[in-house]
Structure 1
Amino acid sequence: MKIFHKAMNRASLIGLTALTLGLGACTKNFDLYNTDNTGVSNGQLDPDFNKLTLLRYAQRSIYNFAGGGDPNSFQLQQNLAADCFSGYLMSATPFNGGQNNLNYFLVTGWNGEAFKVGYLNVMSNIATLRSLGVDKQYPAVWAIALTTQVEAMSRITDIYGPIPYSKAGTAKTGIPYDSQQDVYNLFFRQLDTATAAFRDFIASNGSYPFSSTKYDATNYNGNMTQWLHFANSLRLRLAIHISNVDPVTAKQQGELAMAPASGGLITTNADNFSLPTTDGGLSNPLAFISINWADIRINAAIATYMTGYKDPRISRYMDKSTDGSFAPAYEGIRIGSITSANVKGDYQNYASVSASSFGLKSNVTLMTAAEVYFLRAEAALKNWSNVNGSAQSLYEAGITTSMSQWNVAPGAYITDASSKPASYHDPKNKKNDHDSLTNTTIAWSDAATDAVKLERVITQKWIAMFPEGQEAWTEFRRTGYPKLFPVVNNNSGGTIDGTIQIRRLPFPQQEYNTNGAEVQKAITLLGNGKPDNGGTRLWWDTGK
């Protein structure tokens, strides 16, 4: 309750107009497919290079723990949205009297946080670096900035759909939105610029007259080879995202990402892309919300998949329940089961079900080698070139690499052809019980249908990506896997289909207030008269 009170008293979403005022006047308009457009004029970096720290702030804002000890913004940006929609987490706290996003009563004041963070913390800081001439003076540092921007803003477009991107910073009012297809095409062009700069820097044994601690807050610490691997892996992720709706572009971009001449992908856990908490005062925001506020607990979906599969990673992901009324067990909360109807009842007791096992100083991992193996496995199912392995070998490599990441022995997990996800039995309220929605097992079978093969790949990728809910929600929407329990109470007023589940968040109210005409145009970019609500599918969300 306390966090809701604090979060809702924050200033309302600052519109994109305020961002452009902060960026200063533009000197030219940029074509949509310009590789590095941010719409501001070039300047000169200070001799002490201190302003390079703006890139560090932008990187931290991908997951938004720049504020250190009070992650209110992260809680709204991701935790009470994608983390729960993905089947990973669920809150036992009855925010807003039990009527909130977790039972599809979408709270206007929550839904703009990701948009605000993307533009004010990421786009603005990176635009300032370009205005200081970083792109011309230090192209490899600029490549990190572009890759950071694509990583951060791909998460934003995958929440809302159309966003202002190509013209962000080119005007003070009336900032147009781009279609999601155009945004993705620009992402690929920006990654072209970034990866070329990384390769040039590596080939020339380049160096810069300042420490990487000035500009890189990630675990890579300015290692351009690791950044190149991440940029190529990010291209592959985005190509897979659009593979149902634009298979030609997806294949082209995916094969480019995997091509040997591109410089390689993330293949080992040493290359996993993470945001450390080593800077003074920083805490893992998910752990903070769980440990200090008790506002987030494990979702029934991930708990039932892992218990049913007898997954050895489960003790690394979550703690057993501490409720004295039943034996300690890995127990989750089914999404949508906390509402105003039980706000004074059992909800307090749900706080004693399983919590995540992460500590306040745990790193935040945003892409892993395991995920990339699963991306390649799906590419193999699509018969793309350059995958360097069969779907089965890459699928199994994804599992073993994840096990290694969490320092557990896989045992016979890969060959288990009998274990299935468990049904859910709510320890507090049997009305929330639900049978398992799938009989899919773990062991690969070439005789299985394409649908079963894809379900195996996505389900194991989903388990391996925990707790990174933003990408997990995207993959659930794109593929329909893993099969997640529907929300118990659907308070959307009919705007969200409880079977299909939530597909996006509405555009921020502040954008309606300050950029209204362009928001109305953006709604038309959703396609076919689709409304601006949580039930509308994004461009790449074809329902196939």
Structure 2
Amino acid sequence: MKLKIFSIITCFVLVTSSCDFDEDINVSPATPADVSAQAIIPAAQAGLAWVIGGELVRISGLFTQQMEGINAQQADNYRYLWVPADGDGIYFRMYNAVLQPLVIIAEKAEAEGSNHTLGMAQIMIAHGIGSLTDCFGDVPFTDAFGALDGNFQPGYDTQESIYTTIQDLLDSGITLLEGPAGNGPALGSEDLIYGGSTASWVAAAYSLKAKYYLRLSKRSSTAYSDAEAALANAISSNAGDFQLEFGTAPNESNPAYQFSRDRGGNIEIDDYFFGLLNGLNDPRREALLVEDASTASGYTITLNSQTYYTTIDAPVVMTSYAEMKFIEAEIELMENADTPAAEAALAEAIGASITKIAGSNDAAYVATHSALAGLADDAARLEQIITQKYIAMYSNGLEPWTDYRRTGYPNLTPVANGNNSFNLNGEIPRRLSYPDTEIQLNNANVPIKDGNLQTPLWWDN
């Protein structure tokens, strides 16, 4: 299944190319002039996993001290020196390799009458644009895909409107996937994530609804209740996690594996995260760290290709059962004031994470770190929940950074030398500055041009 990814990308280039050509030139009948919506799905899914499991994992890990940059751009980003040019890759890949293909899939699926494929595409578009707005704030969406019609300077949707769009897309995707398949080709084996299982996609959509409602905990009085309602139909076991599993062939490898193999000398495990795992004697330690008998702890901070998230066929996790239970624990504590229910959800969350990463649960560890009643107050209880979530969400996209911005936990001390012209107060960044290509080519529409990393996002106010 995964072997098709690169040939599918070639097909996508053929479909979307806007280059002029001479119609009199002979065209091989073996070269497709067009492809179906289903043919593009593997490339779009792999593209989303690459952005989330690559750049977004690294920037979240660097800002929240799960990783330390020790060389090149990663060393600058670790000390909060993020220049506009650093954002070009994220923008290009998310729009060009993810969102544009997904929009094409949606258009083709609608024309074909492939309702389930359309629903899947809408769910992935929601998570793609959601990931982008959680980095930059306002971003193009409504006008973002008009280049073939001559619109090279798209306007920006506000983050508030993007968040409405996310939920609308997820609701529409759920409706389509729960309804008839339609007259077009079915969603099937080309779906690298769930193999065409509509029930799994519906659960993933409800999970994303909960995730994005929770983002609004500082902004909306209904954020917790909205997220709680979505949880009722969300992912219900580790087996249903929304993730893409990579293969063992050279052209199937996980993005973290490729980075650790090719540029592993640029990043290592940060002392804070390393010390947290060691200090708690965390059972996930052996899977997340590299063992080294020559060190006092028995582990090294080296980031190489032999840990759970960096092996060649490691999954890129976009949301999970463990994350849903952490969300539930926070809701039970902060919305429902039900500490026993929060403890039960937290125990399930920690246990699910340990089982997934370490292979089996650790009942004693779970009992110790899910105990909330004896802590001083709800602030201390929330810190316990988010600190355990911080461990569990290592290498799970933007979650550690978004939770830090929402809650202030874990209680991190900003790195030394983090004060620079892009980050004047030296605190942990609240956003990424807009890409240099946007500032140069779409200047009239870019909402913030000064590159200040401390200007909060809409939901962070």
Deviation sequence 1:126-176 (CA, Å, 0-9, x none): 222233243661111111101111112211101101101123225604311
Deviation of the 1:124 alpha carbon = 1.0
Check if 1:501 corresponds to 2:428.
Answer: yes
Partner of residue 401 from structure 1, selected from 340, 348, 352 = 352
SS at match of 2:195: coil
Contact conserved, 1:331 with 1:354, CA < 8 A, in 2? no
SS at match of 1:364: strand
Deviation sequence 1:310-337 (CA, Å, 0-9, x none): 1111101111347x6x4463354xxxxx
Contact conserved, 1:135 with 1:141, CA < 8 A, in 2? no
Partner of residue 161 from structure 2, selected from 172, 178, 182 = 182
Aligned-pair Cα RMSD in Å: 3.2
> C-alpha separation between the residues in 1 aligned to 2:311 and 2:428?
31
Q: 1:365 to 1:400 in 2, by over 3 A?
A: same
Check if 1:414 corresponds to 2:366.
Answer: yes
Map 1:195-214; keep pairs closer than 5 Å: 195-201=174-180, 209-210=185-186, 212-214=188-190
Instruction: Tell me what 2:134 maps to.
Output: 158
SS at match of 1:90: strand
Q: 1:164 to 1:21 in 2, by over 3 A?
A: farther
Q: How many residues were matched structurally?
A: 427
Contact conserved, 1:175 with 1:518, CA < 8 A, in 2? yes
Deviation sequence 1:277-313 (CA, Å, 0-9, x none): 1385211111222234323321222211111111111
> C-alpha separation between the residues in 1 aligned to 2:80 and 2:203?
38
Q: Which amino acid aligns with 1:172?
A: N
284-293 vs 311-320, which moves further: 284-293
> C-alpha separation between the residues in 2 aligned to 1:354 and 1:195?
37
Contact conserved, 1:312 with 1:408, CA < 8 A, in 2? no
487-496 vs 504-513, which moves further: 487-496
> C-alpha separation between the residues in 1 aligned to 2:292 and 2:397?
22
> C-alpha separation between the residues in 2 aligned to 1:257 and 1:241?
14
Q: 1:166 to 1:352 in 2, by over 3 A?
A: closer
Map 1:34-49; keep pairs closer than 5 Å: none
> C-alpha separation between the residues in 1 aligned to 2:454 and 2:442?
23
Contact conserved, 2:231 with 2:324, CA < 8 A, in 1? no
Contact conserved, 2:219 with 2:459, CA < 8 A, in 1? yes
Instruction: Tell me what 2:25 maps to.
Output: none
Deviation sequence 1:320-374 (CA, Å, 0-9, x none): 347x6x4463354xxxxxxxxxxxxxxxxxx589974531122222222111001
Check if 1:90 corresponds to 2:74.
Answer: no
Q: Which has the higher helix share?
A: 2
Q: Which amino acid aligns with 2:198?
A: M
> Structure 1, unaligned stretches of length 5 or more?
1-19, 24-45, 66-72, 333-350, 417-440, 525-530
TM-score, structure 2 as length reference: 0.83
Instruction: Tell me what 2:192 maps to.
Output: 217
Contact conserved, 1:267 with 1:373, CA < 8 A, in 2? no
Contact conserved, 2:64 with 2:400, CA < 8 A, in 1? yes
Deviation of the 1:276 alpha carbon = 1.4
> C-alpha separation between the residues in 2 aligned to 1:317 and 1:99?
21
Q: 1:272 to 1:301 in 2, by over 3 A?
A: same
Check if 1:270 corresponds to 2:239.
Answer: yes
Q: Which amino acid aligns with 2:269?
A: I
> Structure 2, unaligned stretches of length 5 or more?
1-15, 20-31
Q: Which amino acid aligns with 1:180?
A: Q
Deviation of the 1:377 alpha carbon = 1.3
> C-alpha separation between the residues in 2 aligned to 1:152 and 1:115?
11
> C-alpha separation between the residues in 1 aligned to 2:86 and 2:33?
41
SS at match of 1:275: strand
Contact conserved, 1:166 with 1:183, CA < 8 A, in 2? no
Contact conserved, 1:275 with 1:363, CA < 8 A, in 2? yes
Check if 1:516 corresponds to 2:443.
Answer: yes
